[in-house]
Amino acid sequence: MTIQSVRGFRDILPPQSRRFADFEKIAREVFALYGYGEIRVPAVEMRELFVKSTGETTDIVEKEMYSFEDAGGRKLALRPEGTPGVARAYIEQNLSAQSPRQKLFYMGNMYRAERPQQGRYREFEQIGAECIGNPHPAADAEIIALLSDILRRAGINDFSVEINSLGCAQCRPAHREKLIAFLNSRKETLCENCKKRIEKNPLRALDCKTDGPALFKDAPVQELCPDCGKHFDAVQLFLKETGIPFAVNRAIVRGLDYYSRTVFEFRNARLGAQDAIAGGGRYDALIRSMGGPEAAAVGWGLGVDRAVSLMPEAAYPGPEVFVISMEEAAHSAAFKLMAELRKAGISTDGGAFAQSMKAQLKAADKCGAKFAAIIGGNELAKQSAAVKNLKTGEQAEIPFQDIARHLAKETP
């Protein structure tokens, strides 16, 4: 009986893995331009971290989190998202003492026990950015611009940006009461989850996949206090200054409890009904609620799987040369040539010496090599190799010490 991968988990093979690496490289380059440093947090955290930060009534905590008890009786969880771990590290490592403003990014796998579907897996890679310690609306606009730059540099230009404001602790309570009254008036039509959310977190009902779309068109609109209105106006002004097209969408509430004020989503119609590439927002009260200092913050998370699926197709070149040995006496010289070419910075494959020359040539062609360097008894005696252009068929006998220069000259 063969063992297969677990449903919702999968292998990422070449050349797809190369596309993931390319996207990560682009993201790192843009993060450096914006002054962000990398943070690496554990894949396993105390379960309570996600309950306290993400919210007891969120789908992540209620239905999707991989939680378990270890041998020591501790209740642990595989991280379903990145922000809580970064916030925990900010507090535990006393980062506010090092600098009042921290600009951090992370890359890593997340885990959610949700139903697998197109572009969504139970193990998925997420890239995220967190700007902690800056309450100004410029931070909101900058972090949106950061995400936009990453996508555009990856060749993904057909996305839309939608923003909203959820208000703050001053203006949300009145909206909450209005929303509770509205949901109670529709209680008989709500799904069981939304019925439970009415008192605990009524805003989550508007984010429900079942009830949300129908509820939103009649739901009360969040009325922002003067400070929140001023903040949201400034975010829009800064975005206009950067030239990033955006639309205000009052339906965006995000699915996590810690958001306040600015929230946003990046969408792409090519993804179908589940069209979100990335999303985020401001979470000014999260770190304080977790026992840390007062630290305004804003951030986002991006699904790498979905972003990679939107990247333009790329043809990845094979190795520059494939080294072939025709007989046992030439194996050592062929292996040494492979090492020397790599030292010279030339991508080199080979070493399939157990195969016939014909099979090795076939392998060279299959891996996309441009040249084959063939060594047999005659070539070994002359300390040379027959270097063959696999596209044109042209062949020349080149001394070992000149092969690197010959390949550099032949490569356009």
Asked if residue 57 has pLDDT above 60, the reply is no
Return the sign of the alpha-carbon dihedral for residues 221, 249, 51, 57.
Answer: positive
Give 316's Cβ-side CA count (13 Å radius): 12
- Per-residue pLDDT of 75-109, as tens digits, reads 999 999 999 999 999 999 999 999 989 999 999 99
Name the average pLDDT for the chain. Answer: 90
User: Distance between alpha carbon 291 and the CA centroid of its chain, in Å?
Assistant: 28
* Threshold 0.75, pTM exceeds: yes
Q: With 0-12 CB in 10 A as exposed, 13-18 as middle and 19+ as buried, what is 205? A: buried
* Percent over 90 (pLDDT), the chain: 69
Q: Do 327 and 376 touch, CB atoms closer than 8 A?
A: yes
| Gap between the Cα atoms of 236 and 243, Å rounded | 11
Return the sign of the alpha-carbon dihedral for residues 335, 337, 341, 346.
Answer: negative
Tokens of 306: 């979905």
Q: Regarding beta strands 321-325 and 348-350, do their DSSP bridges make them parallel or antiparallel, or are they unpaired? A: parallel
- Per-residue pLDDT of 192-234, as tens digits, reads 878 877 777 787 777 777 777 778 778 888 889 999 999 999 9
* Of 237, 268, 241, nearest in space to 154 by CA: 268
Domains recognised in the chain with CATH numbers: 16-168+241-310 (3.30.930.10), 321-410 (3.40.50.800)
| Gap between the Cα atoms of 166 and 390, Å rounded | 61
Give 16's Cβ-side CA count (13 Å radius): 11
Q: Do 200 and 56 touch, CB atoms closer than 8 A?
A: yes
Q: What residues contact 387, with CB distance under 8 A and at least 6 apart?
A: 321, 371, 372, 373, 374, 395, 396, 397, 398, 403, 406, 407
3-state class (DSSP) for residue 311:
coil
Q: With 0-12 CB in 10 A as exposed, 13-18 as middle and 19+ as buried, what is 253? A: buried
| Gap between the Cα atoms of 302 and 396, Å rounded | 51
**24-33, 263-272, 299-308: segment of lowest average pLDDT:** 263-272
Q: HEC states along 131-164?
A: EECCCCHHHHHHHHHHHHHHHHHCCCCCCEEEEE
- Please report the pLDDT score of residue 59 as a whole number: 61
Instruction: Name the pLDDT band for 309 (thresholds 50, 70, 90).
Output: very high
- Please report the pLDDT score of residue 255 as a whole number: 62
